[in-house]
A and B are shown apart, each in its own frame.
Chain A
Amino acid sequence: MSREAVLVDAQWVEEHIDDPSVVLVEVDEDTTAYDKGHIRGAVKLDWKQDLQDPVRRDFVNQEQLSQLLSERGISNDDTIVLYGGNNNWFAAYAYWYLRLYGHEKALLLDGGRKKWELDSRELSDDVPDRPATTYTAKDPNLSIRAFRDETVEAIGTKNLVDVRSPDEYAGRLLAPAHLPQEQAQRAGHIPTANNIPWSKAANDDGTFRSDDELRELYREAGVDFSKDTIAYCRIGERSAHTWFVLHELLEQPNVKNYDGSWTEYGSLVGVPVAVGDEPGEG
């Protein structure tokens, strides 16, 4: 994937806003954002209500996704353009998730909702009425999803990239600082993981840095591009942002998102944990 094949800018969106084969999808954690105005024609996806299983701790399965996208009027052949708040964290998560279930034509709007707003571009209150379709999700492609056991095995062998903020990595915070901190698991990081906050990959306005800057960022921070990589954060959405950078923009072949991330790892019994600012020993 080259940058042009996965990332579009606001001008592209404005030029394709009435293209019937293009579906804009806003993905948020805070879905009141969509209700306060969205890009004209955009469909809403709620990261939690729509994409997470209501009972098990997992994202929705193949059948649930097929049903969801059918109800929202999205077809297998549509080009899905994802954007959202939080610097596209949840849009990147949905992108990763749609790719995992084999959707061919997915794009991310560079800068997401924030850049669109900062540019004072038009927002609409109209909720689109899209006739239902028959969407068929493919078998999950697990080559881009890491589970806990292979993450433990990756200690000291693969690149582990912890994309949380330095204070979360060190164990001084348990969650991003816009959320209350009370949580039950241990603080710290997976030993040997390098801390490369997702935010280093983005500019203040939420757009991605250039490919050259990104490659230099990860190399300097200790990522060996000849090795496989697992990215993680707290719940897998910020690491989906970094997965997008490494796998889609920089075209690294073996990059997985560990969506169990710290909320799972930091609650496991008996696994090694490192605290402080250094990666620690394997």
Chain B
Amino acid sequence: MCGGTEGGLSLDGVDLDKESVIQGVVLREEQPLGGAYVRLLDATGEFTAEVPTSATGQFRFFAAPGHWTLRALAPKADPVDRAVVAARGEVAEVRIVL
């Protein structure tokens, strides 16, 4: 996938000219973790969106350009926050290790 990062979700069907994509994978003990929840918080910490991870631990958001925080929730784990910057036409890839 041109412009994609190893292990990232396919960008087929995504019009990157319009989108500011944040995507990535949640890992536990180096294994992808399906069924975790990833929350997207805006620059003020306010909730913007949430998705469950896929069976391969992956998630994706269509954000706006700017500073965001990802918060991962999973059974038997404390929440983990990761800061990320989104830009139009780019894909911000994030690995979150619980």
Contacts and interface: CB of A to CB of B under 8 A. Distances in A.
5 contacts: A85-B52, A118-B37, A120-B75, A167-B42, A204-B79
Contacts of B51: 178
Interface in A98-125: 114, 117-120
A177 B48 contact: yes
Interface stretch (A151-159, A179-187, A215-223, A225-233): A179-187
A176 interface: yes
Contacts of A85: 52
A84 to B, nearest CB: 12
Contact of B15 (A114, A173, A179, A182): A182
Interface residues of A, number: 27
Contacts of B52: 33, 85, 114
B26 interface: no
Interface of B: 14-15, 18-19, 35, 37, 39-40, 42, 44, 46-52, 60-64, 71, 73-76, 79
A176 B18 CA distance: 15
A197 B47 contact: yes
A263 interface: no
Chain A binding surface, main DSSP class: loop
* Most chain B beta carbons < 10 A, residue from A118, A177, A180, A181: A177
Contacts, number: 70
Given A173-B63, A181-B18, A200-B47, 12 more contacts: A86-B50, A114-B37, A114-B73, A118-B73, A165-B48, A165-B49, A173-B48, A177-B49, A178-B62, A179-B62, A199-B47, A205-B73
Contacts of A178: 40, 49-51, 60-62
Contacts of B60: 178
Interface of A: 33, 85-87, 114, 117-120, 165-167, 172-173, 175-182, 197, 199-200, 204-205
A33 B37 CA distance: 13
Q: Which 5 A-B pairs have the closest CB atoms?
A: A199-B47, A177-B49, A178-B49, A165-B48, A120-B75
Contacts of A117: 35, 75
Contacts of A200: 46-47
Given A166-B42, A178-B61, A119 B75 contact: yes
